[in-house]
Structure 1
Amino acid sequence: MYFGCCPRLNIRYPSALASRANREKSESAQDTWEPCEYRCIEFDTSLPAQVKCTLGGTGAGSKELSGEKIQSPHKMSRPRKEVISWLCYLSAALASHAASAYSPAKEQLMEYWQIAAVPVLVGITTFTTGFALAPMAFAPLSEVFGRKPVFIYTGVLFVVCQICCGATSSYPGMLVAQFFAGVGGSTYSSMVGGVISDLYASNERNTPMALFSCAALFGVGTGAVASGFTAQYTTWRWVFYSQAIANGILVGSFALFFSETRSTVLLRRKASEFNALHKMAEQAAAAAGDADSIPRIRWKSREDEQRSSVAKLIKISVTRPFCLLFTEPVVFFFSLWAAFAWAVLYVALAAAPLVFSTVYGFSLSESNAILASMCVGSVMFAPLSIYQEKFARHLERLPDTPEARLYFSCVESALLPVGLFVFAWTVNAAVHWIVPAIAIGIATMGIFSIYLAVFNYLSDTYGSVSSSTLAAQSFCRNGLGGVLTLVTKLMFTKMGYGPAGSCLGGIALALTLVPWALVFFGKEIRQRSRFAE
């Protein structure tokens, strides 16, 4: 019998999928049967009853469940979601750890290469440059090939480059290795937001995003503390070797325990398995002399049908973030806000050892241990950021709008300028060192609030293009952080600790107006946007 045959769909494939598509076409061309009906597959699609019946009769009935077991990532079991999420949180912490671990080794590197501090710190700038640029290419690759292979391959690159950083005897070699380490480590942070979006619905994302933000800030503190002790009591080479070991274990964990979360990749797998089962059923029916009993159907993913080539995807991924950055006021000011907040972390990495060693006479390890206050601040603020929104929604006090994400940050982001001002004017031999250390923790809480608000608001507002808005703010964030690292020592020594800290605090205070403006005018701004949803 003839089963609902229709013309082939005009399907465009990414270049990596073209060979498989061509093989299927050539196989179809060799068939003498009637042409196939091509259908778009969904997660709830089941095999036609005729196919199931035929496969059961051939003893292959158990195979029919292989494709139907593939479900939407939103429907994954809770334990599996937790395993995937915690792998991502750990990866974010190790990426931030790598960004902050370089600075404490600068004294040994200066002596080893006989160069000044600023050239040595260029290694941080090259790392953040790779960290900022690479996600624009990796994001579309993860959409086509899946999150897991991108995590694993870039993780291997990260480990190899960390080993190269520890083994090199060349200053240019260190800069090159640091750049590619930034490229490899970038997915450990930039792709986590995409994985969270894959796994959780919009109203469920606040908790995983808060834990992700906590991990990113916690890693900055651990990098400085661990590297300070490592550099003082061993050698700068073990700063990098220790990271290579930790990241090697993480890559192995991704290979063993991470399940693919990208829905388009899962649908493509389901379509491939369904097509294989259809062919088995067709062959069995033909052998039984009843070929017309099986519908001639082939399955395709709707997203693959509509997707352009990988080259075009990368071009869009590289250009769209800058288009949004300079044409969307929300993206521009949020990127500026997040960039400055994150840059303060890099300033602290350079300023804390300088300040605490000169004012309080701390050693290298003791000066960097002060940055453990970042870890304390992020851990203390995480429960608040999780439960405050749940509590407000329980009381039905939060409207279902993107601006609702900003209510708490309007107040909590003020912790950043407060922490900066307190740090600036309490760094004094007459004041106990615990006071400026607490100030760093307070500023970290403000950064946490800003980081979380920016991610949540941009994701909710820009929907399908939110990855581009997040790429824009990531580029600004890492770019500004890498540049300010080079001028921190000069700024604090020339201006003085108090004026330099107050300058940063004043800028942070002015930027706290950004969420207030969107709370009052965000709806009107979104309505005039070409990209907001």
Structure 2
Amino acid sequence: MTTRPEPKYRPPTWSEVVDLAVAEQHDADIPSNVGSIRNMPLSTVPYQLPESVNHSTMDFDKDIEKGSAPESIASKNEAEEAIEENDPNIVFWDGGDDPLNPMNWTPFRKWGTVIVVSAITFLTPLASSMFAPGVPEVMETFHSTNQMLEGFMVSVYVLGFAFGPLIIAPLSEMYGRLPLYHSCNLLFIIWTIAAAVAPNMSAFIVFRFFMGCFGGAPLVLGAGTIADLISREQRGTAMSLWMMGPTLGPCVGPIIGGFLTQAKGWRWDFWFVVILAGAFFVMSIGLMRETSAPIILERKAKRLRAETGNPRLRSKLASDLSPSDLFKFSIVRPVKMLTRSLICFSISIYVGITYAYLYILFTTFTTVFTGQYGFSGGVAGLSFLGLGTGSLLGQFIFTHYGNRMASERIARGDFKPEHRLYIMAIGGFFIPIGLFWYGWAVQAHTHFMVPIVGTGFIGLGLLMTFMPANTYLVDVFTVHAASAMAANTVLRSLMAALIPLSSQKMYAVLDYGWGNSLLGFVALLLVPIPFLFIRYGERVRERSTVKL
């Protein structure tokens, strides 16, 4: 009987380390399932090192936008790599079929976990806008006429997205994904219950904020979980399933919430979320296991140290970063990105303003379509259909055409990060078109489908802006891409929470035609940004002095 030879461990390539780090939403100098760039041999670096590098000490004085090798690469050579591979004190997988490795789990457990994570991710954005059609009832319940609070009670949820992920991400690196999933899911349920029974407006807003803080966990952890479980060949399918939540959730939520508010009252919007979240929480306890390889191997090394009495045993993926360093990287690096990088700041401003438009619509749709068209509470939720349809179309266009354009450039060997922005440049025109269309259609009291079609153009433009912006930041910052994306997320969440506060006053003064035209003119001023970076982005990166 012949036995299958044990697969030989193959050191990861540079692109594998960076790609997996991006999927797990941390910088590539923090270990992932295939290690980190800290312990990669110098020969794997895919580009010429700058003259400022001291090759003997690998002390880098470089700019993170220039594509130079990261300062955190250790000075290991191939001989040192070989020594580590043969070191009996290194703890790693027991061959290619090690059942501890999440990549070797059964298809049922793998895809069951993906489905649960996707369901939780869908629930988070669903809860952000589900009660939007019930805002007038909330105002009546709490005897408030403050128009600023009317918008803030919706947008405060996304304010939690600006702060929660900064804490959740480093904690997941220290303690694993599973404890963060379970604890955040439970806390999300608790704060949702609190919102459902809130006694006054102030308490309700505070509870909504904490819902957003803990509800953001699957958005931080989901892509990393999928990367832990699914091979690169099948990962696209799983990621598409996971991405449907952030795309559909904010638009499906108001449709459900509109009819539920009419039938049972606004508090039942939150009880509905509690019921779904509770069911998903029970499913997660039954189906989900820890998937982070560094955490699994660290637990294995700890168990072996106890069993053998050998204190020198250590995980191959062990990090030399202290908890304080992880928090510093998670919080300080994004701030530095925003304040020191023209590219990161400009793209984040563009995305932040367009994201704010989304929440301006969320906070005003109910008032517009009930006041201008006489929609009932339930039917008012259907006014979000145009936005959702446009968003789905935008995601399809980017996924199909954006990736194809980049792949063609890569195959020709002349790819630059700026090639990601062609889709964004086109999408930027749809936002002002949609805003002008929607605003003046409402102003003229046209058939209700006319402004809804206009919002479809807005949704199309939003997705064609968001997604290319993220991939551009990944391609520009590579090793530090997660910090750049975190900077983008923090700024856009702050702007989406705060800018809509003035939307009701704006419409009261300018009405819907000129009010949306004002937004459209601002969107027109932003249209040149991707064109400028397509033309001058490479030159900006060559002359920049951004250091972390």
Q: TM-score range by the shorter chain?
A: 0.7 to 0.9
Residues 424 and 464 in structure 2, CA contact (< 8 A), matched pair in contact too:
yes
Corresponding position of 1:156: 186
Residues 410 and 516 in structure 1, CA contact (< 8 A), matched pair in contact too:
yes
Deviation at 1:76, TM superposition (A): 7.4
Corresponding position of 1:465: 480
Corresponding position of 1:124: 154
SS in 2 for 1:114: coil
Matches within 5 A, 1:423-438: 423-428=438-443, 431-438=446-453
Pair 1:158–1:45, CA change in 2 (3 A): farther
Corresponding position of 2:352: 339
2:296 matches 1:266: yes
Query: Counterparts of 1:407 and 1:532 in 2: how far apart (Å)?
Result: 28
Query: Counterparts of 2:508 and 2:127 in 1: how far apart (Å)?
Result: 26
Deviation at 1:455, TM superposition (A): 1.9
Residues 151 and 363 in structure 2, CA contact (< 8 A), matched pair in contact too:
no
Query: Counterparts of 2:106 and 2:414 in 1: how far apart (Å)?
Result: 29
1:227 to 257, 276, 289: 257
Residues 127 and 181 in structure 1, CA contact (< 8 A), matched pair in contact too:
yes
Residues 133 and 380 in structure 2, CA contact (< 8 A), matched pair in contact too:
no
TM-score normalised to the size of structure 2? Answer: 0.75
Deviations 1:22-54 (A, max 9, x none): xxxxxxxxxxxxxxxxxx999x969969x9xxx
2:315 matches 1:301: yes
Deviation at 1:491, TM superposition (A): 1.0
Pair 1:125–1:346, CA change in 2 (3 A): closer
Query: Counterparts of 2:330 and 2:484 in 1: how far apart (Å)?
Result: 10
SS in 2 for 1:459: helix
Residue type of the alignment partner of 2:121? A
The more displaced of 134-143 and 261-270 is 261-270
Query: Counterparts of 1:393 and 1:188 in 2: how far apart (Å)?
Result: 28
Residue type of the alignment partner of 1:411? I
Matches within 5 A, 1:124-273: 124-195=154-225, 212-272=242-302
2:323 matches 1:323: no
What is the root-mean-square deviation of aligned Cα atoms in Å?
Answer: 3.5
Pair 1:441–1:226, CA change in 2 (3 A): same
SS in 2 for 1:134: helix
The more displaced of 63-72 and 259-268 is 63-72
TM-score normalised to the size of structure 1? Answer: 0.77
Point out where structure 2 has 5 or more consecutive residues left out of the alignment.
Answer: 1-79
Query: Counterparts of 2:344 and 2:393 in 1: how far apart (Å)?
Result: 29
Corresponding position of 1:455: 470
SS in 1 for 2:447: coil
Pair 1:235–1:89, CA change in 2 (3 A): same
2:135 matches 1:111: no
Deviation at 1:195, TM superposition (A): 4.2
Residues 163 and 244 in structure 1, CA contact (< 8 A), matched pair in contact too:
yes
The more displaced of 368-377 and 460-469 is 460-469
- The structure having more radius of gyration, on CA atoms, is 1
Query: Counterparts of 1:200 and 1:450 in 2: how far apart (Å)?
Result: 28
Residue type of the alignment partner of 2:438? F
2:508 matches 1:493: yes
Matches within 5 A, 1:386-425: 386-392=399-405, 395=408, 396=411, 399-425=414-440
Query: Counterparts of 2:237 and 2:525 in 1: how far apart (Å)?
Result: 28
Residues 359 and 429 in structure 1, CA contact (< 8 A), matched pair in contact too:
no
Deviations 1:239-278 (A, max 9, x none): 111011111222233333345443422332443455467x
Query: Counterparts of 1:81 and 1:435 in 2: how far apart (Å)?
Result: 44
Number of equivalences: 463
Pair 1:393–1:205, CA change in 2 (3 A): farther
